[in-house]
Amino acid sequence: MAQTSVCDFFAVKKPQTEVCATKIMSDTKVLRLVKKGSGELPEGAFTAKAVAKAEPKPAVAPILKAAPAPKPARRRGKAKPQQQPQVSPEEMLKMFRTMYMSRKLDDKEIQMKGQNRIFFQISGAGHEAILTAAGMCLKPGYDWFYPYYRDRALCLQLGMTPLEMLLESVGAEADPNSHGRQMPSHWGHKKLNIVSQSSPTGTQLLQAVGAAEATYRIKLVKELKKQIKSFHHDEVVYVSLGDGTSSEGEFWEALNTACNLRLPVVFLLEDNGYAISVPVEVQTAGGDISKLISGFPNLYRQRCDGTDAIESLLVMRRAVENCRRNRGPSFVHAKVIRPYSHSLSDDEKLYRADEERASDAERDPVKRFGARLIDEKVIDQDGLQQIKDEIDRQINEAADAALASPQPAPETAMLYVYSPDVDPTSAEFDTEDRVELSGNPGTMVDLINRCLHIEMKRDPRIVVFGEDVADCSREQSLDKVKGKGGVFKVTANLQREFGSSRVFNSPLAEANIVGRAIGMATRGLKPVVEIQFFDYIWPAFHQIRNELALMRWRSGNDFSSPCVIRVPVGGYLKGGAIYHSQSGVSLFTQIPGLRVVYPSNALDANGLLRTSIRCDDPVIFLEHKHLYRQAYNKSPYPGDDFMIPFAKAKRVREGSDLSIITYGALVQRSVVAAKEAEKQGVSVEIVDLRTVSPYDWEAIAESVKKTSRVIVAHEDSLSWGFGAEIAARISDELFEYLDAPVRRVAALDTFVAYAPQLEDVILPQSADVLKAITELHSY
C-alpha cells in the first residue's frame, strides 16, 4: 500500500506561501502538502481566505429581518499569507499535558474495568490533538458545549479534572457529570457549560443548534438580555460528532437550521473512519461527508489532520473566530484515528486488519506531538518523561480518591425526576375556586389562543414555533393576507402581536422542533412548540423520550429543559383516517420526567395551559381536535391568572351507582351515556382526570369507594393502554370496595379507518359506554 500523507488524503487547498511555511506546521512523514486533487471541493472553501470575508448575504425569509447578517468584508487586492499559529513553548507543553493525560485516563479506566472496579469504558484515544486544540480556542463557562463520548481531551482542556472524570467512571455521587447516573465519558459540567450528554448518537446536534438559536433570539428581543444571565454577545456553541453519526437525519436537520439562521455553531466531525465496525465508505456515499455538505450556504468548511495538534489549532481558531464574528456556522472535518476498540464491549481485531491498525499507530497524536516537542527543542527527553511521570501520579491518586468516594444513597433514586423547586400539583397553581368568568363564551381554540397571548405578554422568554404556526413568514405580505396561525388557527395573530423573533415557522421536521426547543430551554428560554398532528410526533419521540424527559434526572438537576409541546390529537373527525386520528397517550404517560395534560373543554384548556407554561417541567399538552370548536364545551374567559393544578380531577357528574373514570373526548360521550342510563334508574358519576401524568388517584379512590363499581373509558386502544394501568391499580388497592369487576371501554386494537362506518365501530361511542354501564350495574 503506497504511503499517502494526510493532506494527500484530504487534498487540502492552501496558499503556496503556507506550503512553504516553517516546520511548526509540518511533519515530514505525514504532512507533505500537495496540489488540489480531482474531486476537490470548490477552490477556496478550506482556506484562510474563505473566512476573511463573509459569504454573500443569502435571500432569507423576513423572520431574519430584525437581525440582518453582517456586511461582507471589503475585498482586498491580494490575500495575505496565512499566519502560522502563535503557540508559545508553554502552550505547547500545556497541550501535551492535556493530550497525554487524556490517553492515560483511558488506559487507567481500561485497567480498572479489567479489575471490575468500573463497569464500562469508551475511549477518546486518537482524538486528543483536535480536541485539545478545540478546548484552547473556546471559553469554558462562556461558550456552550455539546460534546460526544470521545471528547475527553476537550473536557480536560476546558477545566474538568482527572478526579471528576474518574468519579463518573466509578459512579460516585460527587461526579459532576451526572452524580452517578450516567455511563463514563458522557460529559456534563454545569460550571463549564458542558451540557449533559446522552448515549444516542446525534441527538446533541439539534440541541446545540437550539442553544445557539437562543443566542440569536436573545439578540433580537431586548427584554431577554436582562433575563438570561448566561448570555454573551459573541458566545459560540460547540458540538461534535463521529463520522458514523453523520448518517443520522438529525445531523442534516441541524446543519439546515444552523445555516439558514447563520447560527454561531462550530460543528466538529471527528472522523476516525469507523462507526463501531462499519467503515466510512459504507456509512457515507463517496466516503467523504465534506463533499456531501458542500452545498450548504453560510457554512465555513475546513478539513485538517486531526492528529496534528498545531494544524488542528490553526483550523479551530479560524472556525471559532468565524462564529464569534457572527458569520454563520463553521464545520471542521478532522481526520483522526481510533487506536483502541470502539469500547471495551468491542474487539476491533474482528474486523480491522493488522496492517490497517499498524498504519494508524504511526499517526498516534500523543506520540507524534511528544516527538515534535523534542525535535523542536521545546523540551528534552528527560523533561518530557518528568511530565509523564507527574501525570501518571496524578491519575493514580485520582483513581484512589474516586474509588473511595461514596456512590449515591438508594433513597436518592427518585430525586430530580421532576423539578424540586416548582410543584405544578400544589395549591400555588390552583385558582379554580375563585375564578371570575366574563365575556362571551369562547371555544377551546379561543381560550388556548388567548392564554398564549397573555402568557407571551407576561414572559418575554416564551417563543412559539412549529409548522405553519406563524401568520405569514414573509412579513412583507402580512398586511395583504389574513394569516395562517396554525392549521387549526390556535396560534392566530401571535406573530402579528409579538413579531417574528418570538413566533416563527419551523421546517417540516418534528425532531428539529423538539431538539431545538430542548436547547433553547436549557439556555433559559421557554419554548411553547407545536407538533401539527399527534400522528406525526414519532420522528420527535427520540428527542422526547431520551433527551427532553431525562435532562434533569441524568444531570442530577444541573440542567433542565422545561418547555411545552402542544399536540392536536384524537379522532372523531370524519375523514381523519389512520394518520390523523391516533391517540397513543400511554406511550407518553409511561415516561418519567414528562407531564401529560389532556383537557376536555375550553375552560380547563385555558387553566391547564397556563399551568403548563408556568411550571418547570416538560409538558405534552394534548388538544383534542374534535373538541376544538364544540359548542357544549365553550366557556367565558376566566381571567389572566386562571390556573388548574396538575393531578386535580374534576367531578363532572355526581352519581351513586357507578363511576366512570375518563378524559378527553370520552368525557362528553360518557355524559351522554350517563343521561340515558339515568332514564333506566342508574346513577352514574363521571370523573374527568384532566391530566393523565400525574393523575388524581385520590379522586379515583374516593369515587370508587362511593359507588363500588367502575368503568375506565378512553379513546386509545383497549390493550396495553392507560386504562389498563388505572384498572390494575383499582383492583390492587381498592379491591375490598368493589362489587363488580373493573370494566374498560376503549377503541378496538386496530387503526382508525377512513370510512365513517368503520371509524364509528373502531372508536368508542356513547352507545358502547351505555352498554358497559348497563352490564356492570346488573352484575
CA 505, distance to chain mean position in Å, is 18
CA angle 687/625/673 to nearest 5° reads 40
Side-chain half-sphere exposure of 345, counting CA atoms within 13 A: 5
Q: How far apart are CA 365 and CA 384, in angstroms?
A: 15
Q: Are 426 and 644 in contact (CB under 8 A)?
A: no
pLDDT for the residue numbered 82: 52
How many CB atoms lie under 10 A from the CB of residue 680?
Answer: 10
Q: Where are the alpha helices (DSSP H) in 37-189?
A: 48-52, 89-114, 128-137, 152-158, 162-170
- Tell me the three cell numbers of residue 774: 348497563
Which residues on neighbouring strands pair with residue 234, listed in sequence order? Answer: none
CA 308, distance to chain mean position in Å, is 32
pLDDT for the residue numbered 15: 36
Q: How far apart are CA 301 and CA 331, in angstroms?
A: 5
pLDDT for the residue numbered 24: 34
Characterize the bridge pairing of strands 274-275 and 691-693: unpaired
Interacting residues of 73 by C-beta distance below 8 A, sequence separation 6+: 52, 53, 54
N- to C-terminal Cα separation, the chain: 83
Q: How far apart are CA 517 and CA 520, in angstroms?
A: 5
Interacting residues of 509 by C-beta distance below 8 A, sequence separation 6+: 253, 539
Which residues on neighbouring strands pair with residue 528, listed in sequence order? Answer: 464, 564
Interacting residues of 434 by C-beta distance below 8 A, sequence separation 6+: none
Residue 740: strand, helix, or coil: coil
- Tell me the three cell numbers of residue 773: 354501564
Please give the helix or strand (H or E) that residue 687 lies within, else none.
strand 684-688
Q: How far apart are CA 106 and CA 124, in angstroms?
A: 7
Q: How far apart are CA 92 and CA 84, in angstroms?
A: 14
- Tell me the three cell numbers of residue 180: 452517578
Which residue shows C-alpha cell 465519558? 185
Which residue shows C-alpha cell 399536540? 567
- Tell me the three cell numbers of residue 503: 413566533
- 462: nearest Cα among 613, 587, 302: 613
Average pLDDT of adjacent 10-residue blocks, the chain of 779 residues: 37 35 33 30 35 36 35 40 74 98 97 95 96 98 97 98 98 97 97 97 97 97 88 97 95 98 98 92 94 96 97 98 97 96 90 92 96 96 98 98 97 97 98 95 98 98 98 94 96 97 97 98 98 97 98 98 98 94 96 98 98 98 98 97 98 98 98 98 98 98 98 96 96 97 97 96 98 97
Q: Are 511 and 543 in contact (CB under 8 A)?
A: yes
Q: What is the dihedral of CA 252, 559, 123, 266, to 10 degrees?
A: 40
Q: How far apart are CA 314 and CA 306, in angstroms?
A: 11
Q: Are 313 and 107 in contact (CB under 8 A)?
A: no
Supply the pTM of this predicted model: 0.89
How many CB atoms lie under 10 A from the CB of residue 689?
Answer: 28
Active site residues: 580
- Tell me the three cell numbers of residue 519: 436547547
Residue 462 carries which side chain, given as an amino acid letter?
Answer: I
- Tell me the three cell numbers of residue 561: 429543559
- Tell me the three cell numbers of residue 488: 387549526
Q: Dihedral sign, CA of 443, 444, 449, 450?
A: positive
- Tell me the three cell numbers of residue 202: 446525534
